[in-house]
């Protein structure tokens, strides 16, 4: 076969692969042909290598889409978390949560701690791991969730929105306690938690002790009912360490021989993570 014919066939094959949306297959084809003389492969080996590359590419695209649709505030993993800065956190416990074993039993996770200690980072990292494993995951701040539920009720769509948030295998509700929740919002929130109870896994981050949730939800009985369902079959991780947001500031102060602020935002020595 003439060189011109080989090139024509290659171009036709490349075009066919693009039309079939075998993009990674097409990208790897040229590399494989260029190295065929120095590392010859049988037809079956070559096809296996090319199709494996295509499948990996497609799976990564699915993961990227799931992460995008989950609406995380940023992309951070457990590997990005500085456990040395929060020594009171049991790294083994967090890594076990990252295995997603808790989803098999529809367990919940509650991260409790002051602002900046890494609650959202850990919740996000676990959620991203869920996306990688093909688990339906959604991240939403508590205030946004309450607003969506209340707006839906006014529009006569509360059932639709409740069903939507009830279906995610992992639902991360961030920042409970930063803003008070009025009676209507609290009741809608309870309905959502009730629908997810023992059916799905919910991850909560909060800056207030569980004993003070009654103040946030403006109804102590309702707050207790919500907590009863969240804490049952739950992992409760309490973090009382230093704020990551102040980390660089504290280092700068030390470098400048300023006052030692290493205890900033921490009233007590770091306590170990607690599991219920």
State the pTM of this model. 0.83
- pLDDT, tens digit (0-9, with 9 covering 90-100), for 10-65: 899 989 999 999 999 998 888 888 888 787 888 899 999 999 999 999 999 999 99
**Residue 245: other Cβ atoms inside 10 A:** 11
Q: Which residues, at least 6 apart from 1, have a Cβ–Cβ distance to it below 8 Å?
A: 9
Dihedral of the CA atoms 115, 116, 119, 123 (nearest 10)? 120
CA distance 141 to 160: 19
**Residue 48: other Cβ atoms inside 10 A:** 12
Mean pLDDT of the chain: 88
98: three-class secondary structure by DSSP? helix
Low-confidence ranges of the chain (pLDDT < 70): 1-3, 245-276
CA distance 99 to 84: 21
């Amino acid at each position: 076969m003439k060189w011109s014919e080989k090139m024509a066939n290659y171009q036709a094959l490349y075009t066919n692969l693009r039309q079939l949306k075998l993009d990674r297959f097409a990208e790897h084809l040229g590399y494989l042909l260029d190295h065929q003389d120095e590392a010859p492969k049988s037809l079956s080996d070559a096809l296996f290598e090319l199709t494996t590359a295509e499948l990996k590419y497609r799976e990564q695209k699915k993961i990227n889409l799931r992460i995008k649709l989950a609406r995380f505030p940023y992309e951070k993993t457990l590997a990005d978390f500085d456990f040395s800065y929060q020594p009171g956190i049991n790294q083994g416990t967090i890594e076990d949560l990252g295995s997603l074993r808790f989803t098999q039993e529809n367990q919940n996770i509650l991260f409790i701690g002051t602002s900046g200690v890494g609650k959202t980072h850990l919740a996000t990292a676990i959620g991203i791991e869920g996306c990688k494993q093909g688990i339906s995951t959604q991240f939403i701040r508590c205030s946004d969730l309450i607003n969506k539920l209340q707006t839906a009720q006014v529009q006569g769509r509360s059932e639709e929105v409740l069903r939507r948030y009830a279906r995610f295998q992992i639902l991360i509700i961030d920042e409970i306690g930063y803003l008070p929740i009025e009676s209507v919002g609290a009741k809608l929130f309870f309905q959502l938690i009730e629908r997810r109870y023992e059916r799905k896994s919910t991850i909560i981050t909060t800056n207030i002790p569980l004993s003070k949730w009654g103040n946030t939800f403006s109804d102590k009985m309702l707050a207790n009912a919500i907590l009863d369902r969240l804490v049952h079959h739950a992992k409760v991780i309490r973090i009382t360490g230093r704020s990551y947001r102040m980390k660089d500031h504290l280092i700068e102060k030390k470098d400048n021989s300023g006052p030692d602020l290493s205890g900033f935002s921490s009233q007590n020595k770091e306590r170990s993570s607690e599991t219920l």
